[in-house]
């Protein structure tokens, strides 16, 4: 469904990611992980068509991404950014209904089916009680859940999330990922989510892709690549990986770094050569 070939991305003269090659099959649930500045958001922006590749290509459903008209692209693919600003005081329901625009006939009015999609999406994101509230008068977390509801109302085949739940509390994060997992399992929704929360990714994603130093350094099933060795390689921090006795999914436990004095000694030793 998504094929990335020899893809290089960047801004101006600065390259962020180079020579990426991977494929995502229909119905996969993929977490994109990596340290700050590793290119997670850049990759999401490229897959959504917000930035053009420096080289290489992105193929979605056997068509080059840049050849897909914006309206059709919006029917296939929805994006939830880390933060989005709506300055005009639309009601939250009006914001969610914007997700139905790609499916409307030109100059056509909203239908009962559109309204049903919007209300169902708001119920799924626990924002139904905000229908009549101006989006400019809700909290940051509520605003983000409304934006997620708008993306669900698009009824996409692919959902791209760029740190989309970072502003939510623990309960709301779990609720959103439970909905994503449900839609993935029952509707075949393909999900790619750039994340920082290692344990949330390990709990819900079936496949993890780790970015670092301009490329993909690990990509595979969560059970295989979510290991102390890989996490230490990616984040340069000591971690243990345990298996939860209940759900049996792996989870990471952070360990203390070496004392600063020891680090300083190592820096001086390396500098003296």
pLDDT digits (tens, 9 = 90+) for 97-125: 999 999 887 766 889 999 999 999 999 99
> Which residue from 211, 224, 197, 240 is spatially nearest to 35, judged by alpha carbons?
211
Confidence (pTM): 0.90
Helix (H, G, I), strand (E, B) or coil at 64: strand
d(CA 25, CA 221): 13
Q: What pLDDT sits at residue 260?
A: 65
pLDDT digits (tens, 9 = 90+) for 68-80: 999 999 999 999 9
pLDDT cut 70: percent of the chain above it? 95
Chain-centre distance of CA 15, in angstroms?
21
Phi first, then psi: give them for residue 119, nearest 5 degrees: -65, -40
DSSP letters spanning 106-166: TTPPP-HHHHHHHHHHHHHTT-GGGTTSBGGGS-HHHHHHHHHHHHHHT--SEEEEESTTT
Taking a C-beta distance cutoff of 8 angstroms, is the pair 239, 255 a contact? yes
Instruction: Tell me how far CA of residue 1 lies from CA of 75, 182, 220, 253, in angstroms.
Output: 15, 20, 17, 35
pLDDT tens-place string over residues 23-33: 999 999 999 99
Mean pLDDT, residues 205-220:
97
């Amino acid at each position: 469904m998504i094929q990335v070939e020899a893809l290089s991305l960047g801004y101006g003269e600065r390259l962020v990611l180079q020579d990426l090659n991977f494929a995502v099959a229909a119905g996969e649930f993929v977490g994109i992980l990596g340290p700050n500045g590793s290119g997670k958001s850049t990759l999401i922006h490229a897959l959504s068509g917000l930035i053009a590749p420096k080289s290489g290509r992105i193929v979605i459903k056997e068509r080059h991404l840049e050849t897909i008209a914006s309206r059709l692209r919006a029917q296939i693919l929805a994006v939830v950014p880390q933060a989005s600003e709506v300055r005009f005081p639309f009601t939250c329901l009006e914001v969610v209904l914007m997700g139905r625009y790609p499916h409307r006939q030109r100059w056509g009015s909203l239908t009962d089916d559109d309204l049903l999609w919007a209300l169902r999406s708001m119920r799924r994101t626990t924002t139904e009680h905000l229908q009549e509230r101006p989006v400019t008068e809700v909290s940051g977390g509520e605003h983000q859940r409304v934006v997620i509801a708008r993306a669900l109302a698009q009824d996409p085949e692919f959902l791209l999330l760029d740190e989309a739940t970072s502003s939510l509390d623990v309960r709301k994060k779990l609720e959103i990922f439970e909905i994503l997992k449900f839609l993935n399992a029952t509707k075949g929704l393909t999900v790619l989510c750039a994340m920082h929360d290692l344990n949330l990714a390990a709990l819900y994603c079936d496949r993890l892709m780790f970015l670092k130093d301009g490329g993909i350094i690990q990509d595979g099933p969560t059970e295989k690549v979510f290991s102390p060795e890989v996490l230490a390689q990616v984040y340069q921090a000591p971690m243990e990986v345990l298996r939860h006795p209940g759900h049996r999914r792996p989870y990471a436990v952070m360990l203390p770094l070496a004392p600063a004095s020891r680090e300083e000694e190592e820096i001086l030793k390396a500098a003296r050569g």
